[in-house]
Structure 1
Amino acid sequence: MRSKPRLSLALTTLLCCALAPGLAVGRTLPDFASLVAENGPSVVNISTKQHTSNLSEMHGFTIPDLPDEGPLRDFFDRFFGDEGELPEDRESRSLGSGFIVSSDGFVMTNSHVVEGADEIVVRTSDRREFVADLVGTDKRSDIALLKVEAEDLPAVRIGSSKDLQVGEWVLAIGSPFGFESSATAGIVSAKGRNLPTENYVPFIQTDVAINPGNSGGPLFDLDGRVVGVNSQIYSRTGGFMGLSFAIPIDVAMDVVEQLKTKGRVTRGWLGVMIQDITRELAASFGLKQPRGALVAEVLPGSPAAAAGLQPGDVILAFDGKDVLTSSALPPLVGAMPIDAEAEIKVLRQGERVTLSVTIAELPEEDPLDASTDAETTPANRVGLVVRAIAPEQREHFGIEQGGVMVEAIEPGPAERAGLRAGDLILMLDGQPVTDPVSFEQVLAGIESGRSVAVLVQRGEGRMFFAIRIPEAD
């Protein structure tokens, strides 16, 4: 009677043993050794010499801060002098990585690796050294193209970042802290990341260990094709913390082709200041959920102004592609050819409108700033004390007419929404604000309990805030 359970257990054990090899094979790690052996010779070490008067002018990697202690400080101590202290005037050196994109000597790296360099030296894995010419750089994408006088160099195979999937294995080869031909591996953590200082690059986020000196090195997929250029890390210590960012190779190669043919890079320009849609703003604009890019400002004389875009418009699609977040719009616009026609779908005061725009070339940026003095109103139902904008302030802020300045703010809905003293309010609930009286009139006409959008200029930029009108006492 008891033999059947034992027989069943034995059969189960045999079945598991039979399946185990298959399970083990399915969980085997990729063959990184073959990838490194095949692609390592295409990766180069880049060193530069430059005349500098300040530690902050030396380039080798982009990080938020340089801490007093940690691996990055050790790196600078090792390569740039005792305890990382530099004389005010000296020759400095920086280290980075790069890779050969064509056998006739074109090499790609990061712009910040070679910025300000007086001499650029490219060293291959077989210890050959070449003094490189700088073909061109593009700071907006952080890509630089170099040329060395050599032939039959081992070039990488270029892939496509569009085919990458989150969770996919990737491999980096570079010179972290000056240790040449170092390989690290990880997975793709996210795609299309936009960093605060970079509007035109949809970064690939990975957890590949990247450190100072890896800048400009290639990111490979498992087929040995380059899918990205390692560029930045996010760190609070100066060392790797699991967040590294690579420029998609599709973006990088477009820059390289432009640098080769024109010597500079052109991008499409729309001429709007945009922001994300929060849950509160979505409700105020009648959207079921946050999506799109909210137009906070339309620059005079821009393609957007000619097309009829207005502050308060929510851009839902551009050139046939959905715009789910504000960060998705700049790369789409930047990739458009100059003088090309594009269709923009917007939500305007609850109605869907289609506009046609002719893309212009992105110009150099220029900013603004802030300060105040004039007649004020008492605090209103949302806790704001506002006043008229003086003529000299209009000239300073670049505002021809309308608007009020926030003189003071009391605890209440406006403060909770994020408004601050010194903000300029230009529009309330879709209606332009001309002066303090009109502001109070518009505010008085809004029913209690509603969430309304307020267009604010703060410093150089404009943005919308959602203020919830309180219930009457």
Structure 2
Amino acid sequence: MRSRSVAALVAACTLALSGCSLLPDAPGSLPTNFVPAPSVSPGEGPGALSPDGFTAAQRMTVRVRNVGCGFISTGTGFALDAHTLVTNRHVIEDTKKIQVQTYDGRSINATTASTTTVADIAIITTEESLGGTFANVARQDPVESDVVTVVGYPKGGRLSTVSGIVLGESPDPLGSAIGAVLATTATVEPGSSGSPVLDEDGRVVGVVYAKNKSNQSFIVPVSTLKTLLDETSLLVPEAAQC
């Protein structure tokens, strides 16, 4: 496993949501024909997505499989359009091959990937269409006390949702972002990295990338994501390893 970021992780007392030596065990190798099983309901309680909102979120959310040099890790991503999706930088680090698995079980190979040092964000493109539904990106960041819902593939398992409250702005506990990030009470797990964070209307307001020992989650706000999408010079190609 990669060790170059271990000291920073220990000092920050946080867990980036991917497999490494200090984190919960990463899921084992999966067959290439793995079909993610959808969640059976959109969830319950305040802030839960409507059935229509859940269906749209399910169709835009994908499972990202990083086949690296001697390891396999998983994360989550979401489609911006038919050939472009968002995930975390750490989800695709040291990759040899990136596979995207859609809600209906299709496996699609990534053609290019770009990352940034501004935040823990990666943009992946595919030649084959992702199909499904695409993200409705919010205009503004959520604010303290807003209810949000995270949609993703925790621990590489089935698609699931979890809701929480935005606690407010926070310095990036991992030091991977320029500027503040947002902390929430939504409980996330390894494999949730790259999950879209949705407001009550199903709009993307952020991207999950880490949690701390108190089970608070941290998200890259949508304002940062939109800056990256508008300023493509901030993105650099991710070179294949091995």
Q: Same fold (TM over 0.5)?
A: yes
| Matched letter for residue 264 of structure 1 | V
Q: For residue 257 of structure 1, report the CA deviation from its aligned partner.
A: 3.4
Cα deviation per residue 1:101-133 (whole Å; 9 max; x = unaligned)? 113x10110000000100000001011110002
Cα deviation per residue 1:64-121 (whole Å; 9 max; x = unaligned)? xxxxxxxxxxxxxxxxxxxxxxxxxxx2100000000113x10110000000100000
Closer/same/farther in 2, CA of residues 135 and 92 from structure 1, 3 Å limit:
closer
Counterpart check, 1:134 vs 2:112: yes
CA–CA distance in structure 1, aligned partners of residues 172 and 235 of structure 2: 26
| Matched letter for residue 145 of structure 2 | G
Q: For residue 200 of structure 1, report the CA deviation from its aligned partner.
A: 0.4
Q: For residue 166 of structure 1, report the CA deviation from its aligned partner.
A: 1.0
Matching of residues 389-468 of structure 1 within 5 Å: none
**Counterpart in 2 of 1:154?**
133
Closer/same/farther in 2, CA of residues 209 and 264 from structure 1, 3 Å limit:
same
**2:219 aligned to which of 235, 238, 246:** 246
Counterpart check, 1:202 vs 2:180: yes
Q: Is the 8 A contact 2:120 2:176 kept in 1?
A: no
Closer/same/farther in 2, CA of residues 93 and 254 from structure 1, 3 Å limit:
same
CA–CA distance in structure 1, aligned partners of residues 197 and 124 of structure 2: 19
Counterpart check, 1:95 vs 2:74: yes
**Counterpart in 1 of 2:236?**
264
Report % sequence identity.
Answer: 24
Q: For residue 153 of structure 1, report the CA deviation from its aligned partner.
A: 4.1
Q: Is the 8 A contact 2:135 2:204 kept in 1?
A: yes
- The aligned length equals 191
Unaligned 5+ runs, structure 1: 1-27, 52-90, 236-240, 266-473
Structure with the greater alpha carbon radius of gyration: 1
Normalising by structure 1, report the TM-score.
0.38
Cα deviation per residue 1:279-310 (whole Å; 9 max; x = unaligned)? xxxxxxxxxxxxxxxxxxxxxxxxxxxxxxxx
Normalising by structure 2, report the TM-score.
0.73
Counterpart check, 1:38 vs 2:11: no
CA–CA distance in structure 2, aligned partners of residues 231 and 40 of structure 1: 19
Aligned-residue CA RMSD (Å): 2.1
| Matched letter for residue 41 of structure 1 | R
**Counterpart in 2 of 1:290?**
none
Unaligned 5+ runs, structure 2: 1-44, 238-242
Closer/same/farther in 2, CA of residues 41 and 161 from structure 1, 3 Å limit:
same
CA–CA distance in structure 2, aligned partners of residues 48 and 199 of structure 1: 22
**Counterpart in 2 of 1:60?**
none
| Matched letter for residue 227 of structure 2 | D
Q: For residue 146 of structure 1, report the CA deviation from its aligned partner.
A: 0.4
**Counterpart in 2 of 1:191?**
169
CA–CA distance in structure 2, aligned partners of residues 263 and 190 of structure 1: 27
CA–CA distance in structure 1, aligned partners of residues 97 and 201 of structure 2: 35
CA–CA distance in structure 2, aligned partners of residues 199 and 262 of structure 1: 13
Q: For residue 191 of structure 1, report the CA deviation from its aligned partner.
A: 2.2
**Counterpart in 2 of 1:233?**
211
**Counterpart in 1 of 2:154?**
176
Is the partner of 2:105 in helix, strand or coil?
coil
CA–CA distance in structure 1, aligned partners of residues 204 and 219 of structure 2: 11
Cα deviation per residue 1:304-326 (whole Å; 9 max; x = unaligned)? xxxxxxxxxxxxxxxxxxxxxxx
Q: Is the 8 A contact 1:50 1:118 kept in 2?
A: yes
CA–CA distance in structure 2, aligned partners of residues 224 and 263 of structure 1: 27
Matching of residues 312-461 of structure 1 within 5 Å: none
**Counterpart in 1 of 2:67?**
49
Q: Is the 8 A contact 1:95 1:113 kept in 2?
A: yes
| Matched letter for residue 155 of structure 1 | F
Q: Is the 8 A contact 2:138 2:222 kept in 1?
A: yes
Q: For residue 30 of structure 1, report the CA deviation from its aligned partner.
A: 3.7
Is the partner of 1:136 in helix, strand or coil?
strand
Larger helix proportion of the pair: 1
Q: For residue 263 of structure 1, report the CA deviation from its aligned partner.
A: 4.8
CA–CA distance in structure 1, aligned partners of residues 221 and 178 of structure 2: 11
Q: Which has the higher contact order (CA 8 A, sep 6+)?
A: 2
CA–CA distance in structure 2, aligned partners of residues 180 and 193 of structure 1: 31
**Counterpart in 2 of 1:23?**
none
Q: Is the 8 A contact 2:116 2:235 kept in 1?
A: no
Q: Is the 8 A contact 1:161 1:228 kept in 2?
A: no
CA–CA distance in structure 1, aligned partners of residues 209 and 235 of structure 2: 22
Matching of residues 88-127 of structure 1 within 5 Å: 91-103=70-82, 105-127=83-105
CA–CA distance in structure 1, aligned partners of residues 76 and 174 of structure 2: 24
Q: Is the 8 A contact 2:228 2:235 kept in 1?
A: no
Counterpart check, 1:214 vs 2:192: yes
Closer/same/farther in 2, CA of residues 107 and 46 from structure 1, 3 Å limit:
same
Q: Is the 8 A contact 2:185 2:217 kept in 1?
A: yes
